[in-house]
Amino acid sequence: MIELRVAVEGPLDEEVVLRLLQEVPCSRTVNPRVYVRGGKSRLLEKIGAYNQSAQHGFPWFVLVDLNSDGDCAPQFLQEHLPELAQFMCFRVAVRTVESWLLADRVHLAAFLRIRQSQIPKDPENLNDPKRTLIDLARVSRRRDIREGLVPREGSSVGPAYTSRMGEFVREHWDPQAARSRSPSLDRAIRCLEALLQHYRNTFRLKCENSTR
C-alpha cells in the first residue's frame, strides 16, 4: 500500500480528492491520510513542512482554491512553493473546487433538478463558482435542495451545503467528464497519476487490484 498524505482546506475538498483517487490506476493500493486544515491560510502555513516531508520520501497531494488571490494559478503555485519536492503534487482549483463540480453539467443538472443549459459552460471563468452553484440551487425544483444549499440570513451557505454537495461528489460526480471543461481539474488528475506512478517506480511497487 502507498500511504498518500493529503492536505485540503475543508470537508468538501476532502470528498473531492477521495473521489479523484478512485479515478487513478491501482487506486486500491493507495491509502489516503487526509488532513483538513480549516482554511487556506492554515494550510499554506504548513506547505513548507509538507514539501520537506515529500522530499524525504512521503508522497503528498495538496489542494487549495485560487479564490481571488491572483489571476494565474501557475503564478500562485510559484509564489507559495517555488521548488517542488520529488513526491509533492501541489494543485490549485480555479477559482474554487465548486468549478470542478460545475464542469460536470449533466450530472449536476440532474442532481439539482435544473436544466443543463442553466449551468455555465466555462466554470473556471466565473468569479465565484460557489456563489453560482448556490444561485442554481435557488431555482431547483427540489425543495430539499433549495432549503439545504441556499443560505439563510447571516450565513454564507445553506445548512446542508457540505453534506449535500459531498453526496453529489460521492454518488454522482464524474471527474472524467468534468475534466474536459476544467483545465485545473485535468492538471490535478494528471499530477496525481504522475505522483503515484513515480512513487511506484522509485520503490519498485507493483500495481495490483486496480479498479481500472
pLDDT tens for the chain, 212 residues long, are 999 999 999 999 999 999 999 999 999 999 999 999 999 999 999 999 999 999 999 999 999 999 999 889 999 999 999 999 999 999 999 999 999 999 999 999 999 999 999 999 999 999 999 999 999 999 999 999 999 999 999 999 999 999 999 999 999 999 999 999 999 999 999 999 999 999 999 999 998 655 44
For 58, phi then psi, to 5°, come to -105, 120
Single out the residue of 6, 130, 122 nearest to residue 65, CA to CA: 130
Q: How many Å apart are CA 9 and CA 19, to the nearest integer?
A: 16
Helix (H, G, I), strand (E, B) or coil at 114: coil
Report pLDDT for 113: 98
Q: How many Å apart are CA 98 and CA 187, to the nearest integer?
A: 16
Report pLDDT for 69: 92
Helix (H, G, I), strand (E, B) or coil at 91: strand
Report pLDDT for 211: 47
> Helical H runs in the chain?
11-21, 40-45, 47-55, 73-80, 98-102, 105-112, 129-138, 143-149, 161-171, 175-178, 183-203
Report pLDDT for 65: 98
| Domains of the chain, start order | 2-94+182-203 (3.40.50), 99-175 (no CATH)
End-to-end CA gap in the chain: 17
For the record, the C-alpha cell of 189 comes out as 488528475
Number of neighbouring beta carbons within 10 Å of residue 74: 10
CA 35 to chain CA centroid, nearest Å? 14
In terms of residues, how long is the chain?
212
Report pLDDT for 41: 96
Q: Give buried/exposed letters for 129-166 (b at 16+ CB in 10 A, else e).
A: bbebbbebbeebeeeebbebbbeeeeeebbebbbebbb
CA angle 48, 58, 202 (to 5 degrees): 125
Helix (H, G, I), strand (E, B) or coil at 211: coil
